[in-house]
Amino acid sequence: MLYFFEQFLNGIQLGMLLFLLAAGLTLIFGIMDLINLAHGSLYMLGAYFAASFADWTGSFVLGALLALVTTAIVGMLLEVIAVRRLYGRNHLDHVLGTFGLLLFFNELVRLIWGPAGMTLALPSEMLKAVEVLPGLFYPLYRLVIIGVTLIVAALMYLLIMRTRLGMLIRAGASNREMVGALGVNIKLLYTLVFGLGAALAGFAGLMQAPILTVQIGMGENILIAAFVVVTIGGIGSIRGAFVASLLVGLADTIGRAFVPDVLHTFLSEAASSSLGRALSSMMIYLVMALVLVARPEGLFPAAGK
């Protein structure tokens, strides 16, 4: 039971991480109608910036803040220089163009930081484990990730539902042309939304950096998982992305933790471990396929699309 609860927390933590990526993707998709394969690159950049800045300043928090700002700036520059020119094109042009960007960023990181990965050390007070239930110790830092992401989600909710900028974002998602026609500076809005998405992706990367190694291509697999979240949730829907990220996070973690054991009850050790590994990696795609077969537009289809 304690093991299950621990895995449950791991699932929530992965879900929160996926939400940070998926929220940006779904915003960019909902408002600019853009498939952005380079979103994972911003996640990677966030992690690399955090590792470098933390090294340079000697402080984790300061490094993280600097990395967040830098990633947002890189995102906005990227939008102004390149991505902007892809709006209004068909999805294949998006795939081609942002696939090119992904190749470019992987290579750029290799040029700047070298092919070897980096590590980002946590401050010592973060290394502790807390007793969340009697007998269950859980790493403090993972709890911090869950907490901070929930705060970010709440802030995003406030930003989108309670501010003028959020109102414009929602308006842009439901009818882009009309917002432009009403005299809103739509170009600036797009740049800001892209910057916000970049910041969220960079934030996800830098939060995850101390747990994983920071390496080239780290954004590629997580990007696909984030796309799975966006698709399950319904493209363009932040609420859908939130629900779907928890679903995907839990499905993946619980699958990895329990599928091999369940298989072991009626299969040999070797067979259940290899089949279990395959099956638990497939879990999130299985969930997505099931959801799409039942609901071809995801769980929360964005209104007016």
Q: Which residues bind other proteins (CB under 8 A)?
A: 29, 35, 37, 82, 85-86, 89-108, 110-111, 220, 224, 227-228, 230-231, 235, 270, 274-275, 277-279, 281-282, 285-286, 288-289, 292-293, 296-298
Q: 218-233 and 2-32 helices cross at what angle (nearest 10)?
A: 80
CB of 188 to other proteins, least distance (A): 21
CB of 142 to other proteins, least distance (A): 25
Please say which residue, 72 or 101, places its beta carbon nearer to other proteins: 101
Give the span between the Cα atoms of 158 and 274, in whole angstroms. Answer: 45
Please say which residue, 116 or 278, places its beta carbon nearer to other proteins: 278
Please say which residue, 54 or 302, places its beta carbon nearer to other proteins: 302
CB of 40 to other proteins, least distance (A): 11
Please say which residue, 173 or 230, places its beta carbon nearer to other proteins: 230
Residue whose pair of structure tokens reads 């700002």 in the numeric block: 69
Say if residues 243 and 276 touch (Cβ distance below 8 Å).
Answer: no
Say if residues 291 and 232 touch (Cβ distance below 8 Å).
Answer: yes
For residue 276, which of 212, 268, 244, 6 has the smallest C-alpha distance?
Answer: 268
Partners of residue 214 on adjacent β-strands: 118
Please say which residue, 121 or 262, places its beta carbon nearer to other proteins: 262
CB of 103 to other proteins, least distance (A): 4
Please say which residue, 166 or 301, places its beta carbon nearer to other proteins: 301
Give the span between the Cα atoms of 79 and 23, in whole angstroms. Answer: 17
Please say which residue, 95 or 151, places its beta carbon nearer to other proteins: 95
Cβ neighbour number for residue 155 with a 10 Å cutoff: 10
CB of 58 to other proteins, least distance (A): 31
CB of 242 to other proteins, least distance (A): 18
DSSP letter for each residue of 160-191: HHHSHHHHHHHHHHH-HHHHHHTT--HHHHHH
Give the span between the Cα atoms of 169 and 192, in whole angstroms. Answer: 10
Residues 6+ apart with CB under 8 A from 203: 20, 46, 68, 71, 152
Cβ neighbour number for residue 285 with a 10 Å cutoff: 14
CB of 262 to other proteins, least distance (A): 15
Instruction: Label residues 256-274 b or e (16+ Cβ within 10 Å = b).
Output: bbebbeebeeeeeeeebee
CB of 152 to other proteins, least distance (A): 25
Please say which residue, 128 or 305, places its beta carbon nearer to other proteins: 305
